[in-house]
Amino acid sequence: MRTLSTQVRLRRLIRAFDDAVNRLQSDPREREMAGSVAARLLELATAVREAWRRENAAGPLPRSLQRYVRDALRSIDLAIAGVQQAGADLELLRSDFEEAALPLEIFMRGLDAEPALQRSA
């Protein structure tokens, strides 16, 4: 399975989320812009989801692995949505986001390495 498009978009989202949280934490005036920041992050998350749909359609994964991806993407969306809430704990949201996004990125890399692993076995 090839997931390069999904990986690229996921990495972009990870960087953008980290930058957004850092910016929101460093300047209290930026909190007023949290809604537009969250909207942009949700656009990037939608791009990840669409890339995944296209790439998964070529060779669907077993349902349990598809569920893992779906749940990770949902957790990412929830962390992003929390950014715009007044009084949100940005460090907790960062932690929630990273706990979903970083393992998902590694999982995607593993999907691309799978055929090479099968050839060597």
Cα radius of gyration rounded to whole Å, the chain: 16
User: Residues 55-73: pLDDT tens digits?
Assistant: 999 888 899 999 999 999 9
Give the residue extent of every domain in the chain.
4-120
Tokens of 85: 């809430």
Token readout for 2 is 């090839």
Residue 115 pLDDT > 70? no
**What average pLDDT does range 15-31 have in this prediction?**
90
The CA dihedral of 52, 54, 59, 63, to the nearest 10 degrees, is: 50
Q: Which two tokens stand for residue 18?
A: 């980290």
pTM of the model: 0.89
Q: What pLDDT score was predicted for residue 94?
A: 97
| Segment 27-56 mean pLDDT | 92
Q: Residue 34: how many CB atoms within 10 A of its CB?
A: 19
